[in-house]
């Protein structure tokens, strides 16, 4: 199982026909305490790099971009009442939604974990 | 604050720092033709002459004329506490309470205001106020468009015409379709409003009591809207809520209203404040400022502006509204007014309005040629049909020191003989008799 990352700090993990999407541990840490997550409606179709969700923290409000094109098939039901799960487990329990990917070749535009870690070093 | 003009000495000092000789030199870079030729100000006068002049101006505002005019702004009592507390410098000169560490007083006052508005309207959350009733209604419509992701608004034509004008103005910049439903005489046409709701409708906008004074129960309309996935926005008249079913009790999703009747003077038509309240699930789409209660590091209670991601200083392109402000001082007066009256006092005040208006209704409808148009119950405002043009009747009664009401002709073409009369708790039996006499004379002659 491989996670891929975007430059905007989203991650995506594809298993069969399902791509699970979230924000990276680094992003969750940068945002600070997350207070609200605006999730997309199921059935919504997005293109890669389009706005997929919104995250509000005590510090800021930011957009989450789609790492892949596809259709939203599920959103994380626990986040409405407990958005802090993303702070506790950004790359596990704190996943945002699941997509049915439209074109898996889009993964080639993303970074694997090692590359993403390199990328983060370049940012600090 | 005392106004201290600059002394010639100070002016000279400032000019020398800048490095010029005269005021004329200071403005030299601005071409003569672009400068103000005259500010058209009269010469200075003494404090006492000024007070006399202010008194004359106050007289010119129609004082001495007995008002039976409502139409959205009402002549109500204002307890002395409201002026006294509302004019304290801590409130009157306070700045935007963005820094809770130095604005606890203002923040708590606004928090109490929000609580009062919630209790009054039967809603769960309120913001810290908007500009006025009309903009609050328009913001309610925009809120519904955002929440439902739909683009049609159904608007009842018995809603205040000025407020409808503002809604039209606000929606002009949006790709929203506005469907206006004609009233049935003086009542909202509930059947047509219901059947106008479709899967495209974001919200239905109604007013209670409506512009003609009629009171309705919109509970069934709320249910119908909800079945279609639409919202119900009810514009309410705060004082009436002492008697009339509240928007919350009817199942409204958003309640809006003009707050002037809560402790704010008519003062030539403003300023006052707009109220907006909603169900809790809509709070992230509520425009403007919201004050919340929290605790500090030591567990002590404190107040802060909250959920600010809705506002444009956080993310302009996604802000719920371009309003980042509120009518703090007017809303504060509203809060003091509600507190001074209390729940029982509020009910009593509403009852007094109702009783006096009912008495006036009876007396006026006895006049030959004058008929009552409202089929539904009314609160403190009702519509009469006169045998002649209502505008000219109003003009004739003004000469007798009575402002008889709002003629409908300019708002509702074809209803030139209709007059909306308002009777608040401030109108006495004698004044109502005077109105009846004047009206009798005006329509019989």
B314 near A CB under 8 A: yes
All residues of chain A having their beta carbon less than 8 Å from the beta carbon of residue B309 are 36, 56, 61
Q: How many Cβ pairs closer than 8 A exist between chain A and B?
A: 10
Task: Check: CB of residue B225 under 8 Å from CB of residue B231.
Answer: yes
A20: nearest Cα among A2, A34, A32 = A2
Interface check B284 vs A, CB under 8 A:
yes
pLDDT attached to residue B1 = 45
B312: closest chain A residue by CA: A61
Question: Closest residue of B to A35, CA-based?
Answer: B307
pLDDT in tens, A45-67: 999 999 999 998 877 788 999 99
Residue B45: Cβ within 10 Å count: 11
Residues listed for chain B? 445
Q: Cβ–Cβ of B318/A36 closer than 8 Å?
A: no
Chain A: give the shortest CA distance to residue B357, in Å: 49
| A60 shares contact with chain B (CB less than 8 Å) | yes
> What's the CA gap between A95 and B6, in Å, rounded?
65
Chain mean pLDDT for chain A? 94
Asked if B429 has any chain A CB less than 8 Å from its own CB, the reply is: no
List CB contacts of B176: < 8 A, sequence separation 6 or more. Answer: B141, B145, B151, B152, B153, B202
Per-residue pLDDT tens digits of chain B, which is 445 residues long: 456 788 999 999 999 999 999 989 999 999 988 988 888 888 889 999 999 998 888 777 666 899 999 999 999 999 999 999 999 999 998 888 888 999 999 999 999 999 999 999 999 999 999 999 999 999 999 999 999 989 999 999 999 999 999 999 999 989 899 999 999 999 999 999 999 999 999 999 999 999 999 999 999 999 999 999 999 999 999 999 999 999 999 999 999 999 999 999 998 888 999 999 999 999 989 999 999 999 999 999 999 999 887 777 767 777 778 787 899 999 999 999 999 999 999 999 999 999 999 999 999 999 999 999 999 999 999 999 999 999 999 999 999 999 999 999 999 999 999 999 999 999 999 999 999 999 999 988 7
Residue for token pair 């003629």: B407
Q: Taking a C-beta distance cutoff of 8 angstroms, is the pair B183, B157 a contact?
A: yes
């Amino acid at each position: 199982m491989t996670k891929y990352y975007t430059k905007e700090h989203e991650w995506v993990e594809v298993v069969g026909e399902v791509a699970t999407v979230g924000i990276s541990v680094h992003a969750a840490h940068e945002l600070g305490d997350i207070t609200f997550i605006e999730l997309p409606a199921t059935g919504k179709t997005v293109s890669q790099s389009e706005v997929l969700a919104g995250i509000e923290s005590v510090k800021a409000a930011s957009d989450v971009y789609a790492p892949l094109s596809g259709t939203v098939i599920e959103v994380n039901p626990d986040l409405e009442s407990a958005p802090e799960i993303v702070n506790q487990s950004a790359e596990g329990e704190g996943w945002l939604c699941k997509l049915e990917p439209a074109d898996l070749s889009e993964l080639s535009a993303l970074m694997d974990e090692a590359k993403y870690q390199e990328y983060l070093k370049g940012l600090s | 604050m005392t106004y201290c003009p600059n002394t010639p000495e100070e002016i000279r000092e400032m000019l020398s720092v800048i490095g010029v000789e005269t005021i004329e030199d200071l403005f030299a870079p601005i071409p003569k033709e672009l400068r103000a030729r005259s500010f058209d100000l009269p010469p200075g006068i003494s404090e006492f002459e000024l007070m006399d002049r202010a008194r004359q101006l106050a007289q010119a505002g129609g004082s001495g004329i007995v008002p039976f005019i409502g139409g959205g702004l009402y002549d109500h009592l204002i307890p002395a506490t409201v002026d006294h507390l509302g004019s304290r410098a801590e409130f009157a000169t306070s700045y935007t309470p963005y820094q809770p560490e130095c604005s606890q007083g203002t923040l708590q006052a606004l928090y109490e205001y929000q609580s009062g508005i919630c209790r009054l309207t039967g809603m769960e959350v309120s913001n810290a106020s908007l500009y006025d009733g009309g903009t609050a209604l328009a913001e309610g419509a925009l809120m519904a468009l955002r929440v439902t992701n739909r683009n049609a608004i159904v608007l009842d034509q018995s809603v205040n015409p000025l407020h409808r004008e503002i809604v039209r103005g606000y929606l002009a910049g949006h790709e929203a379709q506005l469907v206006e439903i004609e009233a049935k005489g003086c009542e909202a046409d509930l059947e047509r409003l219901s059947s106008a709701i479709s899967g495209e409708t974001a919200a239905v906008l109604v007013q209670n009591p409506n512009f003609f004074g009629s009171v309705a129960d919109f509970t069934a309309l709320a249910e119908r809207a909800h079945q279609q996935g639409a919202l119900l926005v009810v514009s309410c008249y705060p004082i009436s809520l002492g008697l009339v079913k509240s928007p919350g009790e009817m199942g409204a999703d958003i309640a809006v209203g003009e707050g002037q009747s809560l402790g704010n003077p008519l003062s030539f038509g403003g300023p006052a404040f707009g109220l907006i309240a909603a169900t809790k699930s809509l709070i992230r789409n509520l425009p403007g400022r919201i004050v919340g209660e929290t605790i500090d590091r030591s567990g002590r209670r404190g107040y802060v502006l909250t959920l600010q991601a809705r506002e444009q200083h956080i993310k302009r392109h996604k802000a719920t509204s371009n309003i980042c402000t509120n009518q703090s001082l007017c809303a504060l007066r509203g809060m003091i007014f509600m507190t001074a009256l209390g729940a029982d006092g509020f009910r009593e005040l509403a009852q007094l309005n109702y009783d006096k208006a009912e008495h006036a209704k009876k007396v006026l409808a006895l006049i030959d040629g004058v008929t009552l148009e409202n089929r539904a119950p009314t609160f403190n405002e009702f519509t009469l049909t006169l045998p002649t043009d209502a505008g000219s009747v109003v003009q004739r009664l003004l000469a007798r020191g009575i402002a008889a009401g709002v003629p409908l002709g300019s708002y509702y073409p074809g209803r030139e003989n209709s007059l909306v009369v308002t009777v608040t708790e401030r109108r006495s039996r004698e004044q109502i008799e005077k109105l009846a006499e004047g009206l009798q004379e005006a329509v019989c002659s």
